[in-house]
Every structure is written in structure tokens, then in C-alpha cells.
Amino acid sequence: MQTTLRGVGVSHGVAIGEVRHMGTAVLEPPAKQIPAEEAEREQGRARQAVEAVAADLIARGNLAGGEAQHVLEAQAMMAQDPELMADVDRRIAVGSTAERGVYDAFASYRALLAGAGEYLAGRVADLDDVRNRIVARLLGVPMPGVPDSDEPYVLIARDLAPADTALLDPALVLGFVTEEGGPTSHSAILARALGVPAVVALPGAGELAEGTVVAVDGSTGEIFIEPSAEKRAEMEASAAARKAALSASTGPGATSDGHKVPLLANVGGPGDVPAAVEAGAEGVGLFRTEFLFLDDSKQAPSEEKQVAAYRAVLEAFPEGRVVVRVLDAGADKPLEFLTPADEPNPALGVRGLRSLLDHPDVLNTQLTALSKAAEGLPVHLEVMAPMVADRADAKAFADACRAAGLQAKFGAMVEIPSAALRARSVLKEVEFLSLGTNDLAQYTFAADRQVGAVSRLQDPWQPALLDLVAFSAEAARAEGKSCGVCGEAASDPLLACVLTGLGVTSLSMGAASIPYVRATLAKHTLAQCERAASAARAADSAEEARVAAQAVLSGE
């Protein structure tokens, strides 16, 4: 009998195939003591293993490119963290083997992350993966990772580390399902970039027997176990229809009655630009500049290096709109030269614009570099600040932009509920708003965006979140200014229609989602989108909101 499970759909598409499980994690190494004279040799073994794993991660990143490259480079930096290595050396010096020293040092650091209000829990999976790779190399056992198979399959895992997700072969891995993670986790973001159907936050997924046939719907989050022939045919027909609609949909984003909704791309650097251009992005709605800074956490990149990176992106969109977010450091993106090391809860501390206002030289250098990068180009440059809380923040940022001589529009990201509730006040100082729905949901519901256990509160369909989007869009309309969405919410085609109905003026997403959103918008009028938005806001839960909007848009 066919059984249906439901997780969180994070990457569109349908996958039907046999289950294969992720390789088991490395076993805990034995806690045996070594003689003092062997300590130096063991320390050398540990360093060699760390360097080899870091080099492998960087090589995987170079192969993958784009967003995956940035994530894997950050993992390599994690492996080589000097404080972690110093702890490994100390443990070996008092008698631990290399593998045990690594295991215990990483466990200690893991506990620190969990104790920091769990905001950094999204990096725990990355940390565990680095540890497992180093320990596996030291023990001489196979690396944890994707199973070997000659036939295509659906991958099941507790969670997927970026190093594994980045190099999945879509010809073999039809789709994947994880027990943990959330819609904004690294595995979800990379799945969308790869175009692999994926469902996350499905408790008990690991209990599915090897070889079981499952059908995965990455849009709805449904998993059908041993699907009937009728269900297979229905899902395959739906997938074929969706593919045909994508091929037929081209040009700028708009509703069926001609209401324009520019579809922009989220990028992390020049490596993400080709996919955005190929998908028909009308510009960039979120240029995450922090990846440039994470290359070296000890010092800010030079003005010259910044100019080169920014110009490479700006040149790709002549006459287009490019919205740059200035450095968003802190919390899960700490930088030694910028962010405090001893904050009890980094998520609620000095991050984003707060860090930059404490270090005006870093902000001024970045704004100056952006100004120089745009010189002589016909691009429409817009620059926005992350984590704006109120009008005072918005004014401080706008003043800094003017002081740097930046010829661009200045905007504010709405990621803190106070900015949404007082959006009209914020707009007295800046020219546009951009809603970062990932963080806005996190702060609205006190729900860490990386923790699978609270993923229902990270669902962008939550009516309370839609209310905050509506407040922001209404304020922007009243002030005659624009209000876009650059969070992952924009990548959901159905929700994109609702956001349009709420008054959002542009949508920015990962490049792979643009064709889906374009095709769906083109099937509905603005009035339908507005009715769907009203129905969603009238609901009492995310699931009810989704069903209500779907009913309106399907004419039920």
C-alpha cells in the first residue's frame, strides 16, 4: 500500500527511484594514550590530515564553482582554524592520538556553538563533516559520502554536508531527502542551484529501507513510498507539463495581464553570474559581498580586489539593475577583524550594519570600491544595508553612502520585525526596501533558520510573515518607492504570486528558480495574485495559507 510522508520541499521537481543511504559517519576513535615521545609525530599527522582535507574541500569547490565554491572554501577555513589546531596540539601533547585529539577538539568547539543560543547550529553539520573527513584520513578508512551506484537513485541522509551536495551528479542522484535541515540550509540552497529535487526536515527518513522505491515531490515536500502506477504516471505527467511550461516562458517577469515583476538573481560573486544570465535574470537583486571578505577572516580585502570583483558582476548586466548588499558579518559569518569574539548570543548582537558602523573605515572602503567599480558603466547600481532596525540605522547608512560619494540608490534590508512595522519611517531616509525573508522569519518566530526541529516556523507561508511583507510593501507604495524580496521565499512560484499580490515590486532568487517563477506568474492576473494574497493572510497556519492561495489561483 502506498504511504505518504511530508517534509519541507526546498527544490522543485519530481524524482522517482530506489532509496540509497548516505555512507555512515566515522566511528569514534578509541581513547588510548600515547608515550610522550610520540606526541610530535602525532601532531604532524594531525596537521597533514587537516591540510589534505582543506585542499580537498578547495578542489571540490573549484570544480563546483558558484555558491558551492564559497561554502566549501568556508569549510576549508574551518578545518584550518588556528584555535582549533592549537587545541588539537594541546590534547596530543598530554597523550591523545592524532585522531582522538581531532575528535575531542571538534567536540569541544561543537559544544561552544550549541551554547551560543544555537544560532550557529547551521554550521554544526559543516563542522561534523570536516571532523569526519579528518578522522577518516587519519584512520585510513573511506571518507563518508555519497554511495557508489551504477543506477540512478534517491539519496537519503540525516543531513548533507556542502562538500557532498556540491558535487552530486544529477544523472545519478535523482533527488534527495534529509531528516534535518531547513529551507534556508546550505544543502537546500545548493540543491536549488543544482536543480535536484529535494525534501528536508523529514523525521524518520533514515528508516526507509535500502532499495525501497519512493517518489519525491520537491515542490510540495511529499514523499510517496512504493507509489502506485497511477501515482507515478500522475507525477511524471505533472513534471513534463512543468518542463514544457518552462521552455515556453521567456522574457521579463510579468503577470498574464502585463503587470511587470522584475525577476532578479541572488549571487555571491562573479562565479554565479553565468547561470543568472542563462536563466534570463533581469539583474541582480542580492549581491552577497561577504564571500569576498570570508576569503581572509583576518583582514578586509583591499579596495583594488573589491573593485575587480564588483565590476565583474556589474559588467554582466548592462542597463540592468544590480542591488549590492554591503558586508553582512557577524553571527554565523564571524570575521576576526570586525566581529566580537565573546558575544553571548551573536544572532542578537553586533552583526550586519551594526558591525560596519563600529568600523567606518571598512564600510567607507567598500562603498568607495563600489563607486569606482560602477564608473563608466550603464548599470543601475543600488546599495543596501543589512540588519536595519529603525530610521536611525537607515540614516547612518545613507549618510555614509553620501560621504563616500556613491552615485547610487541607497536602500535598507528588512530582516528585523521593527523595520517592517516602521517601514514608512525607514523610507524617509532610503529609496527602497528589500525583504530578507530568511532572517525576517527567524527573528519573527525566534526560530533558528538552520535548525530542522523548528522548520515549520521558518516556512515563508506563515501568515504573520506575510503580514510583515504586506506592511513593508504598503509603506513603500505610500512613499512612492520600491519594495523587493530577496529571501528564499521568492523562489517558490506559488508564493511569488502571493508576494506580487501583497505589493512586492521585484523578486530575487537563485538562478535555477527564475524559469519556474516566470512561468507561474505568466499564468495569473494581478487581481488573482491579490485575491490569493488576501486568502493566505486570512489563514491561521502556513499550510492553510498555501492551500488557500492554491485554491484561488487554480480557480477552485
CA geometry: angle at 34 spanning 29 and 36, to 5°? 145
d(CA 241, CA 239): 5
CA 166 to each of CA 59, 186, 520: distance values in angstroms, whole numbers, following the listed order: 11, 10, 28
- Kindly name the residue from 70, 186, 359, 524 that is annotated as catalytic: 186
d(CA 508, CA 69): 21
Question: Between 463-479 and 526-537, two packed helices, what is the crossing angle to 10 degrees?
Answer: 130
SS (H, E, C) 470-496: HHHHHHHHHHCCEEEECCHHHHCHHHH
Inter-residue contact 67 to 272 (CB < 8 Å) = yes
Amino acid of residue 468: L
What cell was used for 253?
517577469
d(CA 274, CA 271): 7
d(CA 449, CA 182): 7
Element (H, E) at 435: strand 432-435
Torsion on CA atoms 79, 85, 89, 90, rounded to nearest 10? -130
Alpha helices in 65-180 (DSSP H): 66-79, 82-93, 98-115, 124-139, 162-165
Inter-residue contact 146 to 176 (CB < 8 Å) = no
- List the beta bridge partners of residue 222: 6
CA 504 to each of CA 100, 417, 431, 482: distance values in angstroms, whole numbers, following the listed order: 53, 17, 15, 8
DSSP 267: E
Inter-residue contact 463 to 539 (CB < 8 Å) = yes
The number of C-alpha atoms within 13 Å of 71 and in the hemisphere containing its C-beta is 30
Q: Which residue has the cell 585510513?
A: 140
Known catalytic membership, residue 497: no
d(CA 67, CA 288): 10
Q: Which residue has the cell 502506477?
A: 229
Inter-residue contact 246 to 278 (CB < 8 Å) = no
- List the beta bridge partners of residue 15: 216
Burial 130-139 (b: 16+ CB within 10 A, else e): bbbbbbbbbe
What counts of helices (H) and strands (E) characterise the chain?
Answer: 22, 16
Known catalytic membership, residue 486: yes
Strands 432-435 and 409-414 come out as parallel
CA-based R_g, the chain, Å: 24
Other Cβ atoms within 10 Å of 554 Cβ, number: 12
- Kindly name the residue from 486, 497, 524, 529 that is annotated as catalytic: 486
DSSP string, 341-395: S--S-GGGSS-THHHHHH-HHHHHHHHHHHHHHHTT---EEEEEESS--SHHHHH
Catalytic residues: 186, 486
